[in-house]
Amino acid sequence: MSDMRRREFIAALGGAAATWRLPAMAQQVKSVRRIGVLMAVENDAEGQARIKAFQSESERLGWLHGQNVQIDYRFGVGGVDRVRDYATELIGARPDVIVANGPQALAALQQHTSAIPIVFVQVADPVEVGFVASLAHPGGNITGFVSYEKAMGGKYLELLKEIAPGVTRVSVIITPDNATNALFSHVIQGVAASIGMPSTSAAVRDVAEIERTIDAFASNSNGGLIVVANPITNTYRELIAALAARHRLPAIYQYRYFITAGGLASYGPDVGDLFRRSASYVDRILKGEKPGDLPVQLPTKFELVINLKTAKSLGLTISREFLLRADELIE
């Protein structure tokens, strides 16, 4: 073989090798999947606990952040506009799937995409609000994990009366930007009406409205609060607990983190468990399953938490039977 032909042959081999490397490199890039996570809480201890639960289970399923998956987190607190902005950012990154924490986050994402799979966490009654067609067959690009059913509203009023029998009227604290809050409040007020208890629904958006609302409600005696979880009440949970204590208002909350912030009692799902379970749906979607074929799931773990110090400061005597039902007593 002449020197010229030998050089041509080697050059051809080099070109072929480069061509063979291109699909391999493309496959390597494609193998790193992308997950977006839009949180409904701030990046505090509670937010980090939720992330840890999700990421730990994702790792157990083989998805390692920074290796075969990139996870982009956004903490959508501070108003509806910020949630929408973060939703736009996450969708713009073209993720393979998005985890939406709460109805506000889910609504913002739903407005922008009907193609990217979405797994929601902590959304109540997604069928009535219009997020999915049914729990068994959600259809479309959305599925997820329900935080509670609206019928549970009666349970919160029952707990309030049991822990503070002197309560004769109730105010339900919600935010106007959360459709499921309104549904939940409507159920509570319906149950209150059935037992002849006056009730109001108070929508708050910021610190000023929280203070004004609770101060005004406390101007009359024998009142109690039911605080519905949402980005506003989550963010200002310490303030709400402090105002309730100042005005000696017994209050029932939905999640444990309100009680560690000084609230009286909570009953609701184990949020960490919901986030752990959401990782399993993300895993299945990344492996090719369609969100519309994955049934919406209900909570399986609930916890009743009581702050004994707060109960004592309010002058409440809680029965031994009630205390024995609690999953955790905080002193």
Q: Which residue has the tokens 């959401």?
A: 278
Percent of the chain with pLDDT over 90: 76
pLDDT digit string (tens) for 16-72? 444 444 444 444 445 899 999 999 888 888 899 999 999 999 999 999 999 999 999
pLDDT digit string (tens) for 113-141? 999 999 999 998 899 889 999 999 999 99
Per DSSP, the three-state class of 243 is: helix
Query: In which domain, by residue range, is 250 found?
Result: 150-269+303-330
In this structure, the answer to whether residues 191 and 214 fall within a common structural domain is: yes
pLDDT band for position 91 (50/70/90)? very high
In this structure, the answer to whether residues 323 and 285 fall within a common structural domain is: no
pLDDT band for position 9 (50/70/90)? very low
- Taking residues 304-309, report their average pLDDT: 97
Whole-number mean pLDDT of the chain? Answer: 90
In this structure, the answer to whether residues 204 and 312 fall within a common structural domain is: yes
70-87: b or e for each residue (b if 16 or more CB lie within 10 Å)?
ebebbbbbeebeebbebb
Q: Is residue 4 part of a domain?
A: no
Is residue 269 pLDDT above 70, yes or no?
A: yes
How far apart are the two ends of the chain, measured CA to CA in Å? 90
What is the pTM assigned to this prediction?
Answer: 0.82
Distance (Å, rounded) from C-alpha 264 to C-alpha 7?
A: 83
In this structure, the answer to whether residues 180 and 325 fall within a common structural domain is: yes
In this structure, the answer to whether residues 98 and 125 fall within a common structural domain is: yes
Per DSSP, the three-state class of 75 is: strand
- Give the pLDDT confidence score for residue 23 in this predicted structure: 46
Is residue 13 pLDDT above 90, yes or no?
A: no
